[in-house]
Amino acid sequence: MVASVRTRIEVVRDAEALGPRVGLSLAEAARRSVARGGRFRVVLPGGSSPLPLFRWLAGPGVGEIPWSETELFWGDERCVPPEDPRSNFGSAFRTFVARVPIPGDHVHRWMGELAAPASAADELEETLRGLSAGSFPPAAPLFDVAILGIGPDGHTASLFPGRPSLDVTNRWTLVEPTPAWEPTVPRLSMTLPALSASREVYLIAAGAAKREIVRRVLLPSPEPPLPAARVQAHEERRVFLDTAAAEGLPGVDRSATSEPGVA
């Protein structure tokens, strides 16, 4: 994370409360983006962390997002069909995408079911290069918000610590053939420069099991930075935690947004 980018930390009572808190921030960003450029592009995370947000989007928040101007992308995907319970897109589709009035051609999913993962990566690569007029990394943000989880080992999307994928700097997409975390099917992922081509980055984590890894991601350390700490943003990084994940984090006032001097 570059030093000039501000990091804000917000803490809520529990994992379920992250849904409306992140959702309301997303709605505010959507309104700003549509006013600025007529569209809102958001990168969604996979796994279980975003499920409270997805439930909010399909329920109380359905009228808060300008769906006709919104485009959805996913930071990563498992190489399985959409109906497979391991599919990030499938989970999002069942939980909220099928329940909101977003145009079908605004949903840019990975084709995780293709027999050749590289072909699926190349397909989204072509889409993103088209949207960015071919420049990489683009000088201006391609995405308005990228929402990312923090894995138990500090991975984000399907970018794992110590893997060659962290050094890919000339593409939007890549294949991770042997992920370090379950499920261990091959993965498709945006690269670090691709995720960093975002106006704002939201990092979300919940639960006591994430407490130590959150500290490693947010606080200065002599160790090499974890993947979640390496995602940059053009304007701001926002970190959304529940009280269990934030326990003991220096400078955090759980009753209000705070901005400690983290890296």
SS3 212: helix
**Architecture in CATH of 6-246:** 3-Layer(aba) Sandwich (3.40)
> What's the whole-model pTM score?
0.93
SS3 18: helix
In this structure, are residues 45 and 159 in contact, taking their beta carbons and an 8 Å threshold?
A: no
Residue range 160-207, pLDDT digits in tens = 999 999 999 999 999 999 998 999 999 999 999 999 999 999 999 999
Distance of alpha carbon 259 from alpha carbon 250, whole angstroms: 10
Give the residue extent of every domain in the chain.
6-246
Stretch 103-110: mean pLDDT: 98
Distance of alpha carbon 110 from alpha carbon 92, whole angstroms: 13
Residue range 66-105, pLDDT digits in tens = 999 999 999 999 999 999 999 999 999 999 999 999 999 9
Sheet holding 173-176, edge to edge: 76-78, 187-190, 173-176
Q: Where are the beta strands (DSSP E) in the chain?
A: 6-12, 40-44, 70-74, 76-78, 107-108, 143-149, 173-176, 187-190, 198-205, 236-242
Paired residues of 108 in beta bridges: 73
In this structure, are residues 197 and 191 in contact, taking their beta carbons and an 8 Å threshold?
A: no
